[in-house]
Amino acid sequence: MAIASLIPVLLGLMLAPLMLGVINRTKAAFAGRNGQPLLQQYFDLWRLLHKGVVYSRTTTWVFRAGPVVGLAATLSALLLTPLGGVPSMLHFDGDFVLFALLLGVVRFMLIVAALDTGSAFEGMGASREAAFSALVEPALFLALASLAKYAGSLSLTGLYVPLDLAAWAQAGPGFALALITLLGVFVVENARIPVDDPNTHLELTMIHEVMVLDNSGPDFAFVQYTAALKHWIFGALIAGIAIPVRTGNVLLDTIAMVAGIGVLAVAVGVVESIMARLRMHRVPQLIVGAAALAVVALIVVGR
Amino acid sequence: MDVWLNAIMVLLVFSNLILLGAGRLSMYIRCVAFQGFLLGAFTVLAHISDLTVHVWLLASVGTLLRGIVFPAFLSRLLRDSGVRREVEPYIGYTPSILSGLAMLGAGMWLSVRLPAPAIALPRFVVPVALMLIFVGLFLIVTRRKALSQLLGYLVLENGVYVFGVALVQKTPLLVEMGVLLDVFMAVLVMGVAMFHINREFDHIDTDRLSTLKD
């Protein structure tokens, strides 16, 4: 385990909130505003960590465990995430199953904690989250499977290391489809437009935000940091495919990947500015479409 | 070379899935127009080793008809009919997308078993051609609006064309042009029929035609 394998983890820990800042600034630029500072998310986290916590009397330990376990599971998933050609800290055969499982744990804790509050709104958000995530997991697996089929490896790092320009020249169409699928997974997992609007103030239309209405203080900071890390993790998976830079030089590879994630953040901001949220019953269709593309990717790469 | 052909095939599959999942008729038209352009590029790429005037003529006339003339004509019909979207198809959008995958699978299964002559094109071409044919039939059967059914017919024809190029490398120019002329006439006749249905009944739902009595 070299120093290089620390890079994806440290960068993720440090830059994840910045990604949200970039998204917000892009949206502000589109709306003709100056927008909040790029580092606003860090300030928010700092402020929340210094606040006290308020727990509703109806909640139990489940509600208190939710944010902590969620953050812990996300951090574990971050350890498994390679940054393009830079290998992840931990990698072994089949680690992408563990990766999906950890993300499932994050979601499970979020849902259980939301149900624990006994609020009708949070229960509604939890039910939506559960429904959509059940659909999105096959899409994630199929997209990763198409990469695994090409790479002949079963670890996330093994999937991403051979994805250079030559690989694109050989199986580019398949990778492009897997990329589109992962973009779909990104918007669902991170509750961005067109699946969920993170800025809405109508609980009726929200999915992710509605589940964390009762969290406050450090707990809410954990929830927000978890969300930022999830943005980063999926950003890394997407940039790893989209940017086929595998020079072997750790510094160059890392810069290319971070640039890729930055471009993704800008793209998310642009999409959020020009698109409306889908109606709720159209969302499953979007996810099934994404999964269908992943199946095609698997077929194309496999032949 | 092969990767570009594969890319075209993947884009065809992509447009098929959008056709199956979209509800707006203008989206259908755009998808079919996109397929027309893809077929033009496919024609050129499939004959890249001997690019004759014949190939260029075929590609350009085909693209002009499928990519520009038909969509323009159909958009006009759409505007006149005042219909915007496919309402309640017999099979919903999500099951349609899944059926699309099944059709691709069936295409792959069939293409392995076809006693096809050895072809120089990537093996992915024949399954996609079959998928286009299946999707065309599927659209004709499961959609209510006459316009969607006409578009289904065009997708079907696209499939037959890809299939033909894949299996028969050299078709006489006269035959190809004859086929294009047939398609052109078919679209024209169906378009005119649709125009009349619309003027007579104020809608283009074909299922309601079956309950007609005199």
- Inter-chain residue contact A293 with B124, CB threshold 8 Å: no
Whole-number average pLDDT of chain A = 87
Which chain A positions have a beta carbon within 8 Å of B97's beta carbon? 285, 288-289, 292
Per-residue CA distances from B140 to A66, A90, B91, B206 (Å): 51, 52, 12, 11
- Inter-chain residue contact B101 with A293, CB threshold 8 Å: no
Give A202's pLDDT tier (boundaries 50, 70, 90).
low
Would you state the structure tokens that stand for residue B72, as one six-digit string?
């323009």
Helix (H, G, I), strand (E, B) or coil at A163: coil
Whether A228 contacts A70, CB under 8 Å: no
Residue A302, chain B, CB below 8 Å: the answer is: no
Gyration radius (Cα) of chain B, Å: 17
Q: Identify which of A1-5, A224-228, A282-286 has the greatest average pLDDT.
A: A224-228
Give the orientation angle of helix A217-242 with respect to helix A165-189, to 10 degrees. Answer: 150
pLDDT score of B121: 73
Chain segment A160-187, per-residue pLDDT in tens: 888 888 778 878 888 889 999 999 999 9
Residue A285 φ/ψ, nearest 5 degrees: -65, -40
Residue A90, chain B, CB below 8 Å: the answer is: no
Q: What is the mean pLDDT of residues A237-263?
A: 87
| Dihedral sign from CA coordinates of B99, B32, B134, B194 | positive
Domain ranges of chain A: 18-29+37-302
- Inter-chain residue contact A285 with B10, CB threshold 8 Å: no
Helix (H, G, I), strand (E, B) or coil at A83: strand
Burial A115-138 (b: 16+ CB within 10 A, else e): bbbebebbbbbbebbeebbebbbb
Give me the DSSP letters along A184-205. HHHHHHTT-TTT--TT---GGG
Nearest CB to A292; choose among B7, B17, B124: B17
Residue A33 φ/ψ, nearest 5 degrees: -105, 165
Helix (H, G, I), strand (E, B) or coil at A62: helix
ipTM over 0.90: no
Q: How many residues does chain B have?
A: 214
d(CA B81, CA B75): 10
Nearest CB to A172; choose among B7, B13, B21: B7
**CA A289 from centroid of its chain's CA atoms:** 19
Among A303, A298, A4, residue whose Cα is nearest residue A139:
A298
Chain segment A79-93, per-residue pLDDT in tens: 998 887 788 888 888
Please give the share of chain B, as a percent, with pLDDT higher than 70: 93
Greater confidence, A73 or B182?
A: A73
pLDDT at A15 over 70: yes
Q: Choose the weakest-confidence range: A131-140, A256-265, B17-26.
A: B17-26
Residue of B nearest to A283 (CA): B94
Would you state the structure tokens that stand for residue A5, as one six-digit string?
């394998």
- Measured CB to CB, residues of chain B less than 8 Å from chain A are 3, 6-7, 9-10, 13-14, 17, 21, 93-94, 97-98, 100-101, 104, 108, 123-124
Beta bridge partners of B24: B85
Which chain A positions have a beta carbon within 8 Å of B21's beta carbon? 285, 289
Which chain B positions have a beta carbon within 8 Å of A172's beta carbon? 3, 6-7
d(CA A139, CA B97): 14
Helix (H, G, I), strand (E, B) or coil at B170: coil
Confidence (pTM) = 0.86
Please give the share of chain B, as a percent, with pLDDT higher than 90: 9
d(CA A7, CA A89): 9
Q: What is the mean pLDDT of residues A146-161?
A: 85
Residue B88 φ/ψ, nearest 5 degrees: 45, 75
H or E element, residue A256: helix A250-274
Q: Identify which of A202-211, A239-248, B161-170 has the greatest average pLDDT.
A: A239-248
Beta bridge partners of B33: none
Chain segment B81-104, per-residue pLDDT in tens: 777 777 778 888 888 888 998 998
d(CA B98, CA B89): 15
Q: What is the mean pLDDT of residues B72-79?
A: 85
Would you state the structure tokens that stand for residue A186, as one six-digit string?
């990104």
Residue of A nearest to B10 (CA): A173
Whether A208 contacts A227, CB under 8 Å: yes
Nearest CB to A173; choose among B10, B17, B104: B10
Whether B159 contacts B42, CB under 8 Å: no
Whole-number average pLDDT of chain B = 83
In sequence order, which residues have a C-beta less than 8 Å from that of residue A233 and are 6 or more positions away?
A12, A74, A77, A78, A81, A103
pLDDT score of A140: 92
Q: What is the mean pLDDT of residues A139-152?
A: 88
Would you state the structure tokens that stand for residue A192, as one six-digit string?
């961005």
